[in-house]
């Protein structure tokens, strides 16, 4: 028998767990700047920041995931010696409910708060789907008035514009769960006197309309009726509505008219006789009136019954912000950018803690999607400029180079001294990698003559792209010599030119 090999100490793999990632440089600053612009609007609307603990008891967290597409997704949880099961928050809404229940005696009512931070989902990672990502939420707790919903929608519009989305490039669409309930009554699957009856069929209806984007009208229509066979041959049983009932539901999805008033009139027809349905239409009318009072017209906010995302989760109005400009998808086809934020009214979140129902509504911005949109339209902000790099020709004179660097920094100029080892070629390569606009060079000769060389790397890069002949190249002032005393002033001039260039 062969001897067992001696155990080799295994090195740990230098990798994030799958589904997690790191963010570098501009990825961090662009997101921070976007969130700053958004939260500046939230603050102006009277919303206060809240940063709740990232860790909650599993008990407090409960199960309130709004995303009906992924009902099985879980949380990252572990058992604590003293505290029982703990978990990372999976959104910012469940913690808000806990915070409000815990601190309700000290908080103002209504309580307007915004929150920004990472959340964690224990689900299978996929391309572009991460297990840690940012959310940016604003919610009003303790206000039953539709004015709270209208305010959230107006604020969302202003926040999108502050972030860099031009007016006309987005639209906020509003629907109402109560109108759908009215439609369900009219379709015969919701009896106000016995709301438990037909719950299963209503579930099928809800799931069916929630798939409108994916399956189209025909697919939804099939699921409302007998059922639907998909491409693979699998059969999904339908809600079993008769044609008349199914047409009422389909009529709801198609109810959008040329303006809000006409849409509401059409919805009133569809829910006629249903108390909850008429209440829902009245809510939409009130929101439309309040938005108009704030100067938000249909170019920014529309009543649109085809908004179905979240209808299963929210209890009243539902809102969704869509970007309407086109981008190219991975196959090079044009398509609308789509949804970047969504929200609505959810009146029962705090109840599980206190036993009392507390009205609440809010919106969540998809931080990564909005940032991707801003990048797509070139509005994510300028790339952070690289630092001026002070090179080190003579290691014995580090203090002199350090002094130059300090002078530049004191003048507010981003600057570094090269801290590694290596010859000038390596140092200039480093400067390139840092996207340095200028490199400062001072050798023995320059030192003796009281001058420094300034290499305009930004200009050099532009010239390299333009210039065809060697003669042209030499004629360009990509490197100049200036008196040592004029270092700061001259670098400043070069940076100003680089910015204009």
Residues listed for the chain? 501
CB of 147 to a second copy, least distance (A): 5
Output 74 or 216, the one with its CB closest to a second copy: 74
By CB under 8 A, the residues from 153 to 192 that bind a second copy are: 154
- Is 314 annotated as ligand-binding? yes
CA atoms within 13 A on the CB side of 375: 12
Q: Is 90 in the site for a second copy (CB under 8 A)?
A: no
Q: Is 16 in the site for a second copy (CB under 8 A)?
A: yes
- Is 139 annotated as ligand-binding? yes
Contact 416, 388 (CB under 8 A): yes
By CB under 8 A, the residues from 34 to 53 that bind a second copy are: 43-46, 48-53
Residue appearing with tokens 């999904």: 236
Q: Is 360 in the site for a second copy (CB under 8 A)?
A: no
Q: Is 423 in the site for a second copy (CB under 8 A)?
A: no
- Is 91 annotated as ligand-binding? yes
- Is 430 annotated as ligand-binding? no
CB of 482 to a second copy, least distance (A): 21
CA atoms of 260 and 264, how far apart (whole Å): 6
CB of 101 to a second copy, least distance (A): 3
Output 95 or 310, the one with its CB closest to a second copy: 95
Tell me if residue 71 falls in helix, strand or coil. coil
Tell me if residue 435 falls in helix, strand or coil. coil
Contact 139, 361 (CB under 8 A): yes
Contact 314, 280 (CB under 8 A): no
Q: Is 447 in the site for a second copy (CB under 8 A)?
A: no
Burial string for 381-399 (b: 16+ CB within 10 Å, else e) reads: beeeebbbbbbbbeeeeee
Q: Is 150 in the site for a second copy (CB under 8 A)?
A: yes
The 251-290 site mask, x for binding a second copy (CB under 8 A), equals --------------------------------------xx
- The one-character DSSP state at 201 is H
CA atoms of 384 and 406, how far apart (whole Å): 20
In the list 166, 199, 244, 406, the residue contacting a second copy (rule: CB under 8 A) is: 406
Both structure tokens of 64: 């309130």
CB of 424 to a second copy, least distance (A): 16
By CB under 8 A, the residues from 55 to 84 that bind a second copy are: 55-57, 59-60, 62, 76-78, 80, 82-83
CB of 32 to a second copy, least distance (A): 8
CA atoms of 295 and 291, how far apart (whole Å): 6
Both structure tokens of 18: 């799958």
Output 115 or 206, the one with its CB closest to a second copy: 115
Per-residue CA distances from 492 to 415, 446, 486 (Å): 12, 20, 10
Annotated binding site: 91-93, 121, 135, 139, 309, 313-314
């Amino acid at each position: 028998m062969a001897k067992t090999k001696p155990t080799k100490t295994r090195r740990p793999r230098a990798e994030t767990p799958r589904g997690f990632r790191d963010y570098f440089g501009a990825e961090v600053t662009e997101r921070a700047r976007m969130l700053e612009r958004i939260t500046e609007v939230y603050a102006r609307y009277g919303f206060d920041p809240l940063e709740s603990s990232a860790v909650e008891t599993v008990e407090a967290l409960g199960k309130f995931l709004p995303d009906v597409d992924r009902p099985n997704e879980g949380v990252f949880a572990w058992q604590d010696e003293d505290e029982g099961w703990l978990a990372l928050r999976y959104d910012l809404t469940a913690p808000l409910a806990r915070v409000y229940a815990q601190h309700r005696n000290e908080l103002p009512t209504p309580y307007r708060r915004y929150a920004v931070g990472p959340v964690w989902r224990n689900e299978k990672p996929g391309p572009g789907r991460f297990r840690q990502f940012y959310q940016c939420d604003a919610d009003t707790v303790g206000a039953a008035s539709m004015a709270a919903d209208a305010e959230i929608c107006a604020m969302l519009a202003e926040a999108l514009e502050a972030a860099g989305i031009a007016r006309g490039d987005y639209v906020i669409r509003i629907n109402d769960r109560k109108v759908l309930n009215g439609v369900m009554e009219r379709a015969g699957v919701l009896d106000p006197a016995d709301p438990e009856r037909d719950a299963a069929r209503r579930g099928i209806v809800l799931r069916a309309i929630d798939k409108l984007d994916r399956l189209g009208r025909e697919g939804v229509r099939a699921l409302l009726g007998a059922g639907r066979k998909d491409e693979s041959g699998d059969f999904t049983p339908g809600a079993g509505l008769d044609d008349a009932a199914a047409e009422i539901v389909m009529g709801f999805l198609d109810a959008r008219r040329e303006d809000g008033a006409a849409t509401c009139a059409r919805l009133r027809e569809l829910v006629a006789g249903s108390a909850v349905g008429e209440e829902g239409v009245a809510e939409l009318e009130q929101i439309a009136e309040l938005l108009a009072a704030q100067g938000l017209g249909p170019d920014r906010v529309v009543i649109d019954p085809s908004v179905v995302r979240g209808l299963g989760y929210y209890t009243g109005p539902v809102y969704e912000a869509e970007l309407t400009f086109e981008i190219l998808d991975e196959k090079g086809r044009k398509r609308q950018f789509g949804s970047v934020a969504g929200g609505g009214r959810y009146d029962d979140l705090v109840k599980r803690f206190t036993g009392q129902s507390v009205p609440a509504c809010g919106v969540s911005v998809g931080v990564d999607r909005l940032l991707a949109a801003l990048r797509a339209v070139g509005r994510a902000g300028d790339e952070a400029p690289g630092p001026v790099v002070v090179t080190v020709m003579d290691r014995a004179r580090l203090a002199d180079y350090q002094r130059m660097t300090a002078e530049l920094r004191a003048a507010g100029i981003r600057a570094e001294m090269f801290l590694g080892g290596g010859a000038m070629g390596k140092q200039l390569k480093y400067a390139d990698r840092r996207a340095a606009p200028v490199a400062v060079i001072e050798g023995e000769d320059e030192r003796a003559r009281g001058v420094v060389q300034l290499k305009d790397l930004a200009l050099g890069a532009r010239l390299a792209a333009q210039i065809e002949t060697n003669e042209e190249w030499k004629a360009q002032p990509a490197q100049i010599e200036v008196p040592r005393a004029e270092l700061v002033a001259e670098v400043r001039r070069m940076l100003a030119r680089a910015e204009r260039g």
